[in-house]
Structure 1
Amino acid sequence: MTILGHKGEKTSRRLALASMFALGGTSLWIGCLAITDTQTALSASLRGVMVWWEVLFPALFPFFVLSELLLGFGIVHLAGTLLDPFMRPLFRLPGVGGFIVAMGFVSGYPVGARLSSRLMEQKLITRNQGERLVAMTTTSDPIFLIGAVCIGFFGSLQAAPILAVAHYSGALLLGIGSRFRVRKSEELEDVKAPSPQGNRFRAALAAMHKARIADGRPFGILLQQSLTSSLALMMIVGGLVVFFSATLDLLVNSGMLNLFRDATASLLQLFGLAPNLSLAFMNGTFEVTLGAKAAASDSGLPLIDRVAVAAFVLSWAGLSVHAQVAGLMSRTAWRYIPFARARLIHGLLAMLIVYLAWPLFRVGKTADTSLPAWSPWFSWSVTESGKSFPIVPAAWPPILFLVIIAAMVITGTIAIGIRNFRIRRETR
């Protein structure tokens, strides 16, 4: 055992040393490229700042502040007690996971990682549960998916329904599939909430009150600290977006990514897809916005292929989002490799769902800017080239939240019924 322990320590040290040299060498090389090609680095950085300021900051900052306030007021504990009977049979997750799933889907990445890291620090969820929650809730928000990708890049609302179905249902399927990866030892470490006696709603209110008393911060201090921490986090998000945007342009202009692009093009041809889509995969590997824009840019390609690639890019989320999640989870025992594997599986699932569900949606062969029948829901709009395009329905976030909760209630009820039936059958 001692010899095996020494060998394991030596292997881990070698891996850590190799990764340190690899990251250090890559950073040095990117720095040299930025010095030799300052114009590319500057223009790419300015583009990253524009994306952060015009898209990410208004979309993410309110949800960062809101998540901190909800944690301080004990709303997470309230939702956890109410959703516990549904989340455990369906996902093998505590009830607070339902709140994280709803918030993650409505607000987009990396809010799910933000909430998961806080709950892991408070010992409300285990490492395995936190990793599975982060993998399932690292999704795009509806504003970005509909407004930026469908309206801004594809120039049409027709791709919105199928893209949303593929993206969010792929995340739910990933969460349901991950429940079977729970080992016996990890199940014993599960932080199980005691079953409330009597009215569950009263128990939820009691849990909320207890959490609020334990927090103890007055509203003014809580709001101030929420704003301060959210602003600091937004600066980190902006820095990562700018860094990966500049890195991508520098690597492309230097020709270092030609091999990756050619290999991706050959792989796409093997599966019968257009090799021109390799640019979208290459850009999406680093930054989700650039990848989605590249997927929609070539209007000569079939719309189904471009939507499928956009679904993959949104689900993979780009190394920029990966770095944001890693930064948020750095103070926990979270592991990156399972997260990266889950992102790849989510991307492939989303692509598969697009191709399977395409006949169910009336999507034309070419992009069309005409509004669907449910267009009166839309209240926010943007004017481009003399035309006014809707961005997102004002009622979409709460409607999506209620749809997610309703789906969890229905599936959870079915799962509980099946479990009770099996228990009764075994006790006979």
Structure 2
Amino acid sequence: MKRNLPGIGIVVLFAVMLISPKAVFNGASEGLLLWFQIILPTLFPFIIITNLLLSTDSIHYISNAVGAVLCRLFKVSENGSFAVIVGFLCGYPMGAKVTADLITSGYVTREEGRYLLSFCNNTSPVFILNFIVWKTLRREELLVPSLLILLGTPMLMSLIFRRFYLKGRRQFEYPDMKKEAKDEKTDWNFRIMDTCIMDSFETITKVGGYIILFSVILELVRSIPWQIPAVTWLLPSLEVTNGIVLIGKSALPLTVQYPAILALTSFGGFCAVAQTQCMIQKTSLSILPYTIEKLATAMVTSLFAFLYITFC
């Protein structure tokens, strides 16, 4: 019976889509516009450049520049520091993609990859500033606190997560397989550029597909004439951007809205979980520990946000 549940769910979804074509159209349109207007122009260039950095073995320039600080702070290897930078600055699911690429390319070990994934796949500061603070909350005084809470909480949680992955070591080491090949440099040619661009198109298309699918599901649930309170409360967790809009338009007081929005942003929604699974499927990393760690980080984020908005 358990094996048949996914198939049954897909059949039910198919039937609901046939019954509600207008909701499917609206959801797909919103998801496509979100992908085309926001995700594609902001994420696609970073996917190309990170692919080029990895393909040409150029990440050591960045790792050498900032690795000393990040290695001491997060106990990662120099190559792992590249995932920290991308994961905190470029947004979902770049942290997961770069971590997976570092593992498959032999730059970091799988154990370090599991640790990096636990705290390096986050919402970008640009999204926090533009969409959350200025467009949704419309309170510029929350700009600095939101950045500090959303970026600082994963760093704080890394102190806890590292205990499960370091296993008594002081920090993660450089993989032996990459030490032997680190002097081998790839000659530049346009075939590398073509490969990186095509891989970037594949990645951004998959991200768009997940966004559209989850936007359709969200719109279908919203179109149901009767509303179940539990489903209504969990609806924003499907997709982070639409979820933030739903919370922002609700009648909830700011003391509830603000922690809820920051918690959802920290978690990324189940759409971001699906995107992350897509990025790491070529590695041995499991999505379940990642999901648990993101939910724990979201809970701590909501606590900090509630304390700030209530007392400060």
* TM-score for both structures, normalised by structure 1: 0.66
Residue 164 of structure 1 aligns with which residue? Answer: 147
Aligned length: 309
1:332 CA drift (Å): 0.3
| Aligned partner of 1:192 among 174, 182, 187 | 174
Residue 14 of structure 2 aligns with which residue? Answer: 31
Pair 1:225-2:176 in alignment: no
| Aligned partner of 1:302 among 247, 253, 264 | 253
* TM-score for both structures, normalised by structure 2: 0.89
Residue 269 of structure 2 aligns with which residue? Answer: 318
Residue 78 of structure 1 aligns with which residue? Answer: 61
1:355 CA drift (Å): 2.6
Matched AA of 1:346? T
Pair 1:293-2:249 in alignment: no
How many Å separate the matches in 2 of 1:54 and 1:26?
31
How many Å separate the matches in 1 of 2:34 and 2:235?
15
Residue 289 of structure 2 aligns with which residue? Answer: 338
* Cα deviations by residue, 1:166-193 (Å, 9 ceiling, x for unpaired): 1111111122221111264x95995436
Aligned identity (percent) is 19
How many Å separate the matches in 1 of 2:129 and 2:302?
17
Residue 97 of structure 1 aligns with which residue? Answer: 80
3-state SS of paired residue (1:333): coil
Q: Indicate how the Cα distance of structure 1 residues 189 and 166 shifts in structure 2: closer, same or farther if over 3 A, else same.
A: closer
1:258 CA drift (Å): 1.7
| Aligned partner of 1:178 among 155, 161, 165 | 161
Residue 230 of structure 2 aligns with which residue? Answer: 260
Q: Which runs of 5+ in 1 are unaligned?
A: 1-16, 195-206, 262-278, 362-428
Pair 1:327-2:278 in alignment: yes
How many Å separate the matches in 2 of 1:188 and 1:120?
20
Query: What is the Cα-based RMSD across aligned positions, in Å?
Result: 2.7
Matched AA of 2:243? G
Residue 236 of structure 1 aligns with which residue? Answer: 206
How many Å separate the matches in 2 of 1:147 and 1:219?
37
The 5 Å alignment of 1:12-161 reads 18=2, 20-81=3-64, 83=66, 85-161=68-144
- Larger radius of gyration between Structure 1 and Structure 2: 1
Asked whether the equivalents of residues 236 and 244 of structure 2 are also in contact (C-alpha less than 8 Å), the reply is yes
How many Å separate the matches in 1 of 2:8 and 2:41?
35
Q: Indicate how the Cα distance of structure 1 residues 212 and 248 shifts in structure 2: closer, same or farther if over 3 A, else same.
A: farther
1:164 CA drift (Å): 1.3
How many Å separate the matches in 2 of 1:57 and 1:157?
26
1:251 CA drift (Å): 2.9
Asked whether the equivalents of residues 87 and 94 of structure 2 are also in contact (C-alpha less than 8 Å), the reply is yes
1:81 CA drift (Å): 4.7
Residue 246 of structure 1 aligns with which residue? Answer: 216
Q: Which runs of 5+ in 2 are unaligned?
A: none
Asked whether the equivalents of residues 308 and 351 of structure 1 are also in contact (C-alpha less than 8 Å), the reply is yes
